[in-house]
Amino acid sequence: MNTENTRAAVVWSCWGAAFLLLCLVFRDSLAEMVNTWTNVEEYSHGFFIPCITVYLIWMRRSELSLTQNVRESTPGLAVIVLGLLIFILGGLATIKTMEQYAFLIVLVGVFISAFGFQGLRTSAVPLMFLIFMVPFPQFILNNLSSKLQLISSWLGVEFIRACDIMVYLEGNVIDLGNYKLQVVDACSGLRYLFPLASLAFLCAYLFKGPFWQKLLIFLSAMPLTILMNSFRIGVIGVLVDNWGTEMAEGFLHDFEGWAVFLLCMVLLFIEMWIFSRISGRKLAFGELVQIPAEWGMAPAIGFSVGQLNRSVFVVAILLVIGASFAEMSRGREDVIPQRKAFLNFPTKLGDWQGRNDYLSQFYLNELKLTDYVIINFNQPGTQSSVNFYSAYYQSQRKGAAVHSPRSCIPGDGWQIISYGQKEFPEFALDGHSLELNRAVIQKGDSRQLVYFWFQQRGRTITNEYMVKWYLFYDAIMMNRTDGALVRLVTPVNTAEDIALADSRLQSFLRDLLPELGNYLPGKTIVPATNLSTSG
């Protein structure tokens, strides 16, 4: 018996050492993740996720047995190699989210190497639950937050109107007449969505019912979040209209948030109770989510232990090799190209005269840009005017990234009437015609024409997701993540043909582009007619 216990201790010590080595290899990524859990309210539930996963797997330990030979572990070793490759690429691009997902992949590979596919089938859902502990990339959070803000603002205003209160909505600003409320990022509902989605996933897993009911329970997290967050915004609007802005501040504001989250949980359990009734099971609330009794019927020793599988040493070797490559890629410093500061950007371009404008500190904190310029240009003696804005980022690695006007425009109360790409054969970049995003936006009777593009390391890009792809690619291949947004806006009078506004912006582009190349690193955009003489 002592021999068996000694063998079990040796086997588990080896696999435990492999897990500790895994955590050591990914220590920076895990530290970044824990830092997010600590400082970002949307992910404060992250501490509970691994604890719950470990508990769920422990409850089913009687169904797990260690693999006995390297052949059974081969699929797990392949998964580890895949995860380490993603880890190395994430390190080259210094994308922590990519490294954190790589940790989960390698962890699954180690689990398969230890317990085989049979063990994976038993513990697949608890391991999948770990996905909820990894923070989303910042650009996804920004886009999701802006959309949730708009939806919650609209539904919240509808609730206020249902209470017979006059209210006007302009983007994310709720105008009650005497008071104005702005639905900021913190009120977008993300603080409810991520914890509630995690809870809904866990409830769906433990709920006794058909798969379609489990799927609906999980998918209901988002509509529940949106509806209840909108209800909260509506209630705050009603309270502010009756008792002043202190109803939207301090303890009461935070208490309303907690109350709404608890109400979301209650609605989730009511949904499961309804499903149980539909299925013909009359379960009490306390019986809706239960760990099956058979899970706890584990032998006193725990997991089944056989001979020591030498694959544990292969796992350790792979982790050491992966860590070595990752360390070689670390310490690279961004290549920072030379450029002129926007402080020196001229306020006279051709016959256009300009006046500088500035962003408030609130927007500077949100955008996290390195340098920017805002100039309102006009042509003396005419009504022609153009607002020129460009934001430059020296590095886009650590949460600082270009914000797309498509996300910001609706937040200011403007509706995008038309949107598409427009090609300009008269302008060229590296021999190719310049292509820009073109949008017509409207607020009330006011219209504006907007051109914008992303200037990224010598490329002009119109698609936000291609910006992220080239950011990843160039971080690895060029060790550069600098980039900029360029945006032009001109008002369109009620009786004015939109073609005249297009002509105005194109005329301004002709004067702007030769100068802009000095301030945005990369290849200069020039009029196509100059190509023959410049070569």
Confidence check: pLDDT of 192 > 90: no
How many whole angstroms separate alpha carbon 448 and alpha carbon 389? Answer: 15
Confidence check: pLDDT of 516 > 90: no
392 and 505 housed in the same domain: yes
Higher-confidence residue of 123 and 66: namely 123
Give me the mean pLDDT over the 366-392 stretch: 91
Two tokens, residue 345: 């950007």
How many whole angstroms separate alpha carbon 501 and alpha carbon 484? Answer: 24
Close Cβ partners of 297 (under 8 Å, ≥ 6 residues apart): 62
Give me the mean pLDDT over the 204-209 stretch: 88
Two tokens, residue 37: 């859990």
Give me the mean pLDDT over the 25-38 stretch: 92
Residue whose structure tokens are 């435990």: 16
150 and 280 housed in the same domain: yes
Confidence check: pLDDT of 238 > 90: no
Two tokens, residue 166: 């006059």
407 and 503 housed in the same domain: yes
Write the pLDDT tens digit of every residue in 381-400: 788 899 999 999 988 876 67
Angle (CA) 469-471-477 rounded to 5° is 100
pLDDT category at 10 given cuts 50, 70, 90 is confident
Give strand pairing partners of 486.
Answer: 390, 453
Of these ranges, 147-151, 375-379, 465-469, the one predicted with the greatest mean pLDDT is 375-379
Give strand pairing partners of 432.
Answer: 429
Give strand pairing partners of 181.
Answer: 174
Q: Which amino acid is at 242?
A: N
Domain presence at residue 433: yes
Two tokens, residue 170: 């302009």
- What's phi and psi for 51, nearest 5 deg? -65, -45
At 184 the pLDDT is: 63
First to last CA, the chain: 86
How many whole angstroms separate alpha carbon 75 and alpha carbon 38? Answer: 35
149 and 131 housed in the same domain: no
pLDDT category at 450 given cuts 50, 70, 90 is very high
- Kindly report the pTM of this predicted structure: 0.75
Where are the strands (E) in 304-407, listed by range?
348-349, 352-357, 371-378, 385-393
Close Cβ partners of 164 (under 8 Å, ≥ 6 residues apart): none
Two tokens, residue 199: 């809870």
Q: How many domains does the chain have?
A: 3
Confidence check: pLDDT of 145 > 60: yes
Give me the mean pLDDT over the 111-139 stretch: 90
Q: What b/e readout covers 398-432, taking b as 16+ CB neighbours within 10 angstroms?
A: eeebbbbbbbbbbbeebeeeeeeeeebeebbbeee
271 and 407 housed in the same domain: no
Write the pLDDT tens digit of every residue in 456-508: 888 889 988 888 888 888 888 888 888 999 999 999 988 888 999 999 999 99
Confidence check: pLDDT of 221 > 80: yes
Domain presence at residue 296: no
pLDDT category at 248 given cuts 50, 70, 90 is low
361 and 255 housed in the same domain: no
Confidence check: pLDDT of 424 > 70: yes
- What's phi and psi for 429, nearest 5 deg? -130, 115
Domain presence at residue 220: yes
421 and 509 housed in the same domain: yes
Number of H helices, E strands in the chain: 16, 13
At 535 the pLDDT is: 30
358 and 497 housed in the same domain: yes
Q: Which amino acid is at 66?
A: L
Domain presence at residue 336: no
Residue 349, helix vs strand vs coil: strand
Domain presence at residue 82: yes
282 and 315 housed in the same domain: no
Two tokens, residue 489: 């806006």
User: Burial, 214: exposed, middle or buried (Cβ in 10 Å; 0-12, 13-18, 19+)?
Assistant: buried
Close Cβ partners of 169 (under 8 Å, ≥ 6 residues apart): 153, 154, 157, 175, 413
At 534 the pLDDT is: 31
Percent of the chain exceeding pLDDT 70 equals: 86
154 and 46 housed in the same domain: no
Angle (CA) 402-342-337 rounded to 5° is 70
How many whole angstroms separate alpha carbon 59 and alpha carbon 294? Answer: 9
How many whole angstroms separate alpha carbon 35 and alpha carbon 182? Answer: 29
Average pLDDT, the chain: 83
Residue whose structure tokens are 């080259």: 92
At 241 the pLDDT is: 81
Higher-confidence residue of 167 and 437: namely 437
266 and 314 housed in the same domain: no
Close Cβ partners of 334 (under 8 Å, ≥ 6 residues apart): 394, 395, 397, 479, 480, 481, 482
Angle (CA) 172-245-168 rounded to 5° is 35
Whether 482 contacts 394, CB under 8 Å = yes
Two tokens, residue 129: 């639950």
Q: Give residue 444's region: left, alpha or beta (phi > 0; psi -120 to 50).
A: left
Two tokens, residue 411: 């937040």
409 and 480 housed in the same domain: yes
Give me the mean pLDDT over the 246-274 stretch: 78
Domain presence at residue 294: no
Domain that holds residue 256: 139-287
At 508 the pLDDT is: 93
Given the DSSP bridges, would you call strands 168-170 and 415-429 parallel, antiparallel or unpaired?
Answer: unpaired
